[in-house]
Structure 1
Amino acid sequence: MEFEFIRPHLLWLLIPWVVYSALQWSKKSNQKSAQLIAPHLMKVVMGADGQKHQKQSNSWLGIVFFLLAIIAVAGPSIEKQEVPVFKTQAPRVLVLDMSYSMYSTDLAPNRLTQARFKTLDMLKQFKEGETGLVAYAGDAFTVSPLTTDVTTLENLIPSLRPEIMPSKGSNVYAGIEEAVSLLTGASATYGDIILVTDGLEQEDAEDVQKLLSDSPFKLSIYALGTAQGAPIKLPEGGFLKDQYGQIVVPKLFPTRLEKLARVKGGKFASYTADSSDIETFKPNLGANTSVLKRDQESAKWRVDAGIYLLIVLIPLALLLVRNHAVMLSALVVFAMLPQQKALANEWTQWFKNSDQNALQAYQNEAFDEAALADNPVLKGAALYKAGDYEGAVKTLEQTSSVEGQYNLGNALARLGKLDDAISAYEKALSLDPDFTQAKDNKALVEALKDQQEQQNQQDQQGQQDQQSQQDQQGQQDQQGQQDQQGQQDQQGQQDQQGQQDQQGQQDQQGQQDQQGQQDQQGQQNQQGQQDQQSQQDQQSQQDQQNSQAGSESEQNNNEPELDAARQDQQAADEQTQEQKQQQAQAASTPDPEQSPQDEEKAQAAMMQDSRPLTPEEIEKAQQLNQLLRKVPDDPAILLRNKMQLEAQQRKQRRLPRGAEKSW
């Protein structure tokens, strides 16, 4: 328990109190003589002096009152109260090695599986602070930015494996660089990078050491594997081989990793069957002990005990002003009335001009009031802070100062006018070449412009590819329709020709039968008279029979083609009928994965729509349902697509570091 004053500078008020007390002590003799006379005779004997001595008797009460008041205002305190107003842990980034050497089987079942388990155990220890996740192989990618949601990381880690990485290799430098970028982007003044790997080359270790030499971040390493190593067993079977056909056996070199971790005071641990290795990375104060202690002390507020002295001060105040109690009560009531802040500060504005008042409003974040300034630089800055970027541009275009051009570039960048923003930054740098903020913003806007141009090119290329695919698909569909129409026309012509041939044969056969009957009847009635005519008829009948035989022969030759055409047409009709039945069945059968609520909504929608679906609509609905079922929901596939898209955007034309080896 330590006693101290929260506001010790107010103890200087004791100096006038001592002077006043000394003056009152010097009049002590007069007070003694006044005590020999009765109070009711004091006015008669001593006249006005009696009232004077009575006032002096009350002055000692005032001395005690002001002494206690000064002590109360100075804030006596004997205890502290902790207030949790800060975070005690530094941010951290986990960097996981996703090279194919993690499939080595020297740890059962392999290094990758153990790395996942150990990383999940680490996350359980990180109860405070933010954690990020980076995975690397031939290149590095951010799997999760800095977050306090450990559950998200726990869901992502089991999905990581070397197959989803866009490029093979072991680019540890890119992984550390991505982690540094994450921490720097979060404005972290210190933080931890925990590398989970099974090894790295000596030149990579030197490059990583140079990268971290100028950064405030600390590198810790968790190593997996053994010095003997083991073959790399691939998921699809077999073992990984190098370019010479030899089986690759990656080995662990813990000395190299430990030396790299100790450079900046980091931690190092290698795999053990128990949890002793993970305990090494348990968060503690470490090198930031002095900083955190200072933060903790500043977070402990002193308890002001001066409030308790009011218990004594209020009765004393009533004794001192007992003759003016009504006035005191009115004063207290007036003091408790709400006051307007504008009236309280109005008198201070009388001694300032408009720009000074606008500057004060800007500092108080009253940007609308600050925008009334006459100075265009201050007015433009206030409009920028208020979100009126167009108004800020119009105002700042009137200025030619360094700050005005710099703020103009910021406002133009906010409006998306990157070229104009770069020109404004260049004007500011021409006036002050050492303006660091203008240089940084100019470089940032130029990078953003390049990224937009690259994105526009990719979008344009994608639209062209999509358009060409659509055109090609349209041509194929049109060609297919033409071929199908041609087949149908040819089939129809064949059917029509067959019907005509069959009808002609039937008519010819009927005519022959009728002619034969007539000839036979004529022969019976006029046998004796028309012998010559009978011979001619017999000759004609023979010719007709020969013609009939030729027609039947031609018909028999055409029958295989007609039968094949009929069979094709019949098969096509049956197939179309089966498709319609399947579509109708699919439309009427509920989805087994559909919830009862969704099914009720679908039934209600079907009841509202009384119009039956056409076969084309049923077919489109079935195709859409099949496409939706094909959408992947595996986190590993989503991560792979994300990394592939990011790798395409980077468009690295050179071979990344560490990608010389595929393991």
Structure 2
Amino acid sequence: MYELDKPIYLYLLALVPVLVALYLYEVYWRRKKQREFGNAELVEKLAPERSVFKQALKWAVLLLAITCVIIAIVNPKIGTKVETVKREGIDIVFAMDVSKSMLAEDMAPSRLERSKQIVSQIINGLGSDRIGIVGYAGAAYPVLPITTDYGVAKMFLEGVNTDIVSSQGTAIGAAIDMAITFFDDPDSSKLIILLSDGEDHGEDSISAAERAKEKGIKIITVGLGTTKGGPIPMRRNGIIYSYKQDSEGNTVTTKLYPEALQALAQATGGGYISGQSTKAVTDYVKNTISSSKKTGFESRRVAEYDSQYQWFLAAALLLLILDFFLLERKTAWIKKLNLFNEKEQ
């Protein structure tokens, strides 16, 4: 495997055909001037030691040296070093509510966007912990399996929206059950961070929390929204055109139900915190993680890329030295071989 450190400099290779074209034009111009000067054979006799082949060879060597310098600037890297990396931490699964009620804007910019901001900031503060993401509304949806690649996790986090689960509702129980299946190491400390407004949470959520507790999993619940609540905006092309209404035409108001979320966390010996302050949530999670027992994850082999630019610089230097010693006159021993059946005049 290989990668290019600065691939944009590959555009400099376009100079090579330009220089070749300039050389060909220079050869054409020189021969034209020689024909204007006099008979070509007589002109050749005036410089019997001049070698057309040597002249072309010097140009080829120079162009090859320029090519090597450009490749050195690009800095190709090859994965030749392999080392074993061991990590210690805990396993964390984020269970994110993606029901339509999470579009309410009683928490700026919206409950869902605040939820994504909180998860992103928690990830930023992690060390060697493994993370996974579950989205849920009327059903649970696996967004990202357990991983240590935080970059990939953030990429998947950006794609979380209310359309990833078609059925509506707040199936917290199904989300917890799915999160439980993400934990593949029986010896690791396990934590579910559930972010929701707690609305329409379902009767099986406490039972699911008890199942999680039996497997040594704690749940931290993060309340999103306000107890006063707010309407659910309906957007078209990013513009609000209406608010969600019930069957009687009344605007639906969605509220935060902290009591349901508190009961859920207490069932596993975890805790509840309001999502009003992102920093308060991240600090709370950080303290929970720091007090949890860290376990070593299985070793994984990581390929590190070694820079190879030095070889191309060395080749360019050798070619330039060769170009310096190459003369444009014919080489005596090659001339004696008479490879092209040239006759002495």
String of CA shifts for 1:39-58, please: whole Å, max 9, x gaps: xxxxxxxxxxxxxxxxxxxx
1:278 and 2:277 are equivalent in the alignment: no
String of CA shifts for 1:91-111, please: whole Å, max 9, x gaps: 111111000000112112311
1:178 and 2:164 are equivalent in the alignment: no
| C-alpha displacement of 1:179 | 0.4
1:193 match = 192
Would the aligned equivalents of 1:91 and 1:188 in 2 still touch at CA under 8 Å?
no
Q: 1:261 aligns with which of 258, 265, 268?
A: 265
User: How many aligned positions are there?
Assistant: 207
Taking the aligned partners of 1:131 and 1:267, their CA distance within structure 2 comes to 19
Q: How does 1:459-498 map to 2 (within 5 A)?
A: none
Taking the aligned partners of 1:106 and 1:141, their CA distance within structure 2 comes to 26
Please give the TM-score of this superposition, normalised by the length of structure 2. Answer: 0.55
C-alpha distance 285-118 of structure 1, shift in aligned 2 (>3 A): closer
C-alpha distance 152-85 of structure 1, shift in aligned 2 (>3 A): closer
String of CA shifts for 1:550-585, please: whole Å, max 9, x gaps: xxxxxxxxxxxxxxxxxxxxxxxxxxxxxxxxxxxx
Considering Cα pairs closer than 8 Å and 6+ residues apart, tell me whether 1 or 2 has the greater RCO.
Answer: 2
The structure with the largest alpha-carbon Rg is 1
Taking the aligned partners of 1:182 and 1:278, their CA distance within structure 2 comes to 22
String of CA shifts for 1:392-445, please: whole Å, max 9, x gaps: xxxxxxxxxxxxxxxxxxxxxxxxxxxxxxxxxxxxxxxxxxxxxxxxxxxxxx
Would the aligned equivalents of 1:102 and 1:111 in 2 still touch at CA under 8 Å?
yes
String of CA shifts for 1:111-136, please: whole Å, max 9, x gaps: 11111111111110122121111111
Would the aligned equivalents of 2:210 and 2:268 in 1 still touch at CA under 8 Å?
no
Taking the aligned partners of 2:172 and 2:275, their CA distance within structure 1 comes to 19
Q: 1:163 is matched by which residue type in structure 2? A: D
Taking the aligned partners of 1:274 and 1:196, their CA distance within structure 2 comes to 12
TM-align CA RMSD = 2.4
C-alpha distance 119-85 of structure 1, shift in aligned 2 (>3 A): closer
| C-alpha displacement of 1:172 | 1.1
Would the aligned equivalents of 1:94 and 1:133 in 2 still touch at CA under 8 Å?
yes
C-alpha distance 284-207 of structure 1, shift in aligned 2 (>3 A): closer
User: Which runs of no fewer than 5 residues in structure 2 stay unpaired?
Assistant: 1-83, 297-345
**Structure that is richer in helix per residue:** 1
| C-alpha displacement of 1:174 | 1.1
Taking the aligned partners of 2:193 and 2:163, their CA distance within structure 1 comes to 23
Taking the aligned partners of 1:152 and 1:261, their CA distance within structure 2 comes to 28
Q: Secondary structure at the residue paired with 1:163?
A: coil
Q: 1:98 is matched by which residue type in structure 2? A: V
Taking the aligned partners of 1:225 and 1:187, their CA distance within structure 2 comes to 35
User: Which runs of no fewer than 5 residues in structure 1 stay unpaired?
Assistant: 1-83, 296-663
Taking the aligned partners of 1:191 and 1:162, their CA distance within structure 2 comes to 27
2:144 match = 144
1:124 match = 124
1:240 and 2:240 are equivalent in the alignment: no
| C-alpha displacement of 1:86 | 5.9
| C-alpha displacement of 1:284 | 3.1
Q: Secondary structure at the residue paired with 2:242?
A: coil
Question: What is the percent sequence identity of the aligned residues?
Answer: 27
Q: 1:249 aligns with which of 248, 253, 278?
A: 253
| C-alpha displacement of 1:203 | 2.1
Taking the aligned partners of 1:262 and 1:198, their CA distance within structure 2 comes to 17
C-alpha distance 119-284 of structure 1, shift in aligned 2 (>3 A): closer
C-alpha distance 101-243 of structure 1, shift in aligned 2 (>3 A): same
Would the aligned equivalents of 2:132 and 2:146 in 1 still touch at CA under 8 Å?
yes
Q: 1:197 is matched by which residue type in structure 2? A: S
Taking the aligned partners of 2:207 and 2:157, their CA distance within structure 1 comes to 27
Taking the aligned partners of 2:187 and 2:196, their CA distance within structure 1 comes to 24
| C-alpha displacement of 1:255 | 2.6
Q: 2:279 is matched by which residue type in structure 1? A: S
Q: How does 1:171-570 map to 2 (within 5 A)?
A: 171-183=171-183, 185-187=184-186, 189-200=188-199, 201=201, 203-236=203-236, 237-273=241-277, 275-282=279-286, 284-288=289-293
Q: 2:193 is matched by which residue type in structure 1? A: I
1:109 and 2:113 are equivalent in the alignment: no
Would the aligned equivalents of 1:228 and 1:251 in 2 still touch at CA under 8 Å?
yes
| C-alpha displacement of 1:260 | 1.9
Q: 1:216 is matched by which residue type in structure 2? A: G
Would the aligned equivalents of 1:189 and 1:216 in 2 still touch at CA under 8 Å?
no
| C-alpha displacement of 1:188 | 5.0
Q: How does 1:67-78 map to 2 (within 5 A)?
A: none
| C-alpha displacement of 1:187 | 4.3
1:168 match = 168
Would the aligned equivalents of 2:90 and 2:129 in 1 still touch at CA under 8 Å?
yes
| C-alpha displacement of 1:137 | 1.3
| C-alpha displacement of 1:190 | 3.3
Q: Secondary structure at the residue paired with 1:281?
A: helix
Q: Secondary structure at the residue paired with 1:193?
A: strand
| C-alpha displacement of 1:161 | 0.9
String of CA shifts for 1:144-182, please: whole Å, max 9, x gaps: 111110001111112211123232221111111110011
Taking the aligned partners of 1:128 and 1:268, their CA distance within structure 2 comes to 24
